[in-house]
Amino acid sequence: MGNVLAFCEFSEAALRTSARSCVAFARQAAEKHGGQVVILLVGKGAQAAAADAAQYAGKVVVIDDPGLEKYTAEAYAPVVARAASAEQATLVASVASSVGKDLLPRVAGLLDAGMASDVAAILDKNKFRRAILAGNAYSVVEVGSPILCVTARQSEFEAAQPLGSAGEITAGEAGDGDTLGAEIVKVETSKSDRPDLNDADIVVSGGRGMKNGENFKVLEELADLLGAAMGASRAATDAGFVPADWQVGQTGKIVAPNLYIAVAISGAIQHLAGMKGSKTIVAINKDAEAPIFQVADYGLVGTWEQAVPELVAEIKKLKASQT
């Protein structure tokens, strides 16, 4: 019997949507481990999100410390490892976000834990299903260590719902916050009012065929009309058309929205690895032979110059008829 410690990211006073996916995974894991879910909130200001977090688990451990203002793996990993021991966890979970991917293997190192990364399902206490080879295969891995670390793929675990009764909130031990000399110099964020690419219902992505950043405006118009997030292929981000954090794929973000619209993207396996779990896929490409059409539920052969403005107009018409 052991508990499941769920490292949850928050934004101001609430858990992030991605953290609620972590909770969803943690609940399944706790059932198999015979213990309870303990949510761990770490960082300066974490206390503010505690009440929200308490809706999702029987226990919330808050480590709110000025020394932990900026996330670094160096300072956070020992905090998480210590909490794992204090809470008698046999599994430490997070979502496979950029923080989770950076942090959890380091925690595993500190705890001598085996690890399963970016899992799509939990089959047993220590057995997980996960994509390998850029999504070209799925494997079942078994982790034999007494304590394990797991990152969960957000798109495979629907955000958890509140339990109906609030859990207990306790303070955890912060430790010394030693960053081992690491220092966050600056963070460049691409601010946007659009939904987060990781949890958007609809994603509109553009590829190299958009030719330049200016041309992405028409895709952005489409995205805003649909309340969608923007994505892109690596070719488009590498060419500097759009920011790097828009990249979808094996080495970008893995998304699984209800609707994914790929425009002027050929459909390389590394791109497909990031979006083929989407419920409905639309492809617009001028090349009828483009591999993206093999995964598209609806494929439209044509140029974006023609199709996208027409699509915007048609959707506006549809929306007008609905109101």
Ligand X SMILES: Cc1cc2nc3c(=O)[nH]c(=O)nc-3n(C[C@H](O)[C@H](O)[C@H](O)COP(=O)(O)OP(=O)(O)OC[C@H]3O[C@@H](n4cnc5c(N)ncnc54)[C@H](O)[C@@H]3O)c2cc1C
Q: What part of residues 139-158 is at the interface with other proteins (CB under 8 A)? A: 139-145
- Nearest-CA neighbor of 225 among 288, 151, 133, 319? 319
Helix (H, G, I), strand (E, B) or coil at 103: helix
Residue 77 binds which one of other proteins, ligand X, none, with CB within 5 to 8 A depending on kind? Answer: other proteins
Closest approach of ligand X to the CB of residue 136, in Å: 13
Residue 74 or 305 having the CB closest to ligand X: 305
The pairing of strands 114-124 and 127-132 is antiparallel
Annotate 93-118 with b (16+ C-beta within 10 A) or e (fewer).
bbbbbebbeebbbbbbeebebbbbbb
What residues from 18 to 57 belong to the interface with other proteins (CB under 8 A)? none
Q: Would you say 170 or 280 has its CB closer to other proteins?
A: 280
CB of 283 to other proteins, least distance (A): 7
Burial (CB count within 10 angstroms: exposed 0-12, middle 13-18, buried 19+), residue 123? middle
Place of tokens 């495979």: 156
CB of 193 to ligand X, least distance (A): 24
Which of other proteins, ligand X, none does residue 105 bind (CB under 5 to 8 Å by kind)?
other proteins
Q: Which of residues 215-274 bind ligand X (CB under 6 A)?
A: 233-236, 247-252, 264-266, 268, 270-271, 274
Between β-strands 14-15 and 10-11, what pairing exists: parallel, antiparallel or unpaired? antiparallel
Helix (H) or strand (E) holding 320: helix 304-322
**Shortest spacing between CB 249 and other proteins, in angstroms:** 10
Binds 51: which of ligand X, other proteins, none (CB < 5-8 Å by kind): none
Interface with ligand X (CB under 6 A), residue from 212, 303, 316, 317: 303
Of the residues 21, 90, 97, 285, which one makes contact with ligand X according to CB under 6 A: 285
Q: Which helix (H) or strand (E) element contains residue 199?
A: none
Nearer to ligand X, 149 or 255 (CB): 255
Residue 170 three-state SS: strand
Segment interacting with other proteins, rule: CB under 8 A, options 33-41, 44-52, 100-108, 165-173: 100-108
């220092």: which residue's tokens? 183
Residue closer to other proteins (CB basis): 67 or 114: 114
Task: Determine the residue with CB nearest ligand X.
Answer: 249
- Residue 67: φ, ψ to 5°: -70, -10
- Smallest gap from Cβ 284 to ligand X, in A, equals 6
User: Binding mask 170-209 vs ligand X (x if CB under 6 A, - otherwise)?
Assistant: -------------------------------------xxx
The residue (of 39 and 284) whose beta carbon lies closer to ligand X is 284
**Which region, judged by CB under 8 A, interacts with other proteins, from 30-38, 130-138, 163-171, 204-212?**
130-138
Helix-helix angle 73-86:98-111, to 10 degrees: 60
Measured CA to CA, the distance from residue 225 to residue 319 in angstroms comes to: 9
Q: Which residues contact 205 (CB under 8 A, 6 or more apart)?
A: 219, 230, 231, 232, 233, 246, 248, 260, 261, 262, 263, 265, 275
Which one of 13, 69, 85, 109 is in contact with other proteins (CB under 8 A)?
109
**Amino acid occupying residue 220:** E
Binding site for ligand X (CB under 6 A): 207-209, 233-236, 247-252, 264-266, 268, 270-271, 274, 285-287, 290, 303-305
